[in-house]
């Protein structure tokens, strides 16, 4: 009777922001201008937009901040803390006061 090898269960690691902060996945930097000019690899247009991945409980319970998970936001990277969680380092913990706009569809 052959022994079955125990299956290793990988624990998923999550990042949960605390205080008045959100976790944002920054959009890809652009390699081409709006007029169609391709930029060299060393030059990129810095992108300050991204999607909210997680919202702290403090923000989630505060009606003054209309920010929810999956919202597309414009943010200032000044006090953003990079999360060394992925190889491409596109995750940032951002203070709520550094989110300057939320993109909404017109009704």
pLDDT value, residue 28: 78
Spatial distance between the Cα atoms of 58 and 17, rounded to a whole number of angstroms: 9
State the DSSP code for 60.
H
Residues with pLDDT less than 70, the chain: 1-12, 29-34, 36-47, 85-89
Q: What total number of domains does the chain contain? A: 1
pLDDT value, residue 56: 95
> Tell me, what CATH number does 49's domain have?
2.30.33
State if pTM tops 0.75.
Answer: no
pLDDT value, residue 84: 78
Q: Give the domain range for residue 78.
A: 23-31+39-103
Q: Is residue 67 part of a domain?
A: yes
* Neighbouring residues of 49: CB distance < 8 A, sequence distance ≥ 6: 26, 27, 72, 73, 74, 75, 103
pLDDT value, residue 39: 64
């Amino acid at each position: 009777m052959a022994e079955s090898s125990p299956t290793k269960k990988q624990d998923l690691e999550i990042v949960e922001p605390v205080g008045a902060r959100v976790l944002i996945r920054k959009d890809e930097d652009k390699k081409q201008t709006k007029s169609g000019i391709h930029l060299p690899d060393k030059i990129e247009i810095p992108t300050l937009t991204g999607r909210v991945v997680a919202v702290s409980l403090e923000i989630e319970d505060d009606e003054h901040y209309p920010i929810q998970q999956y919202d597309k936001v414009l943010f200032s990277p000044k006090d953003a803390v990079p999360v060394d969680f992925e190889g491409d380092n596109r995750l940032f913990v951002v203070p709520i006061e550094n989110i300057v706009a939320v993109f909404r569809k017109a009704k």
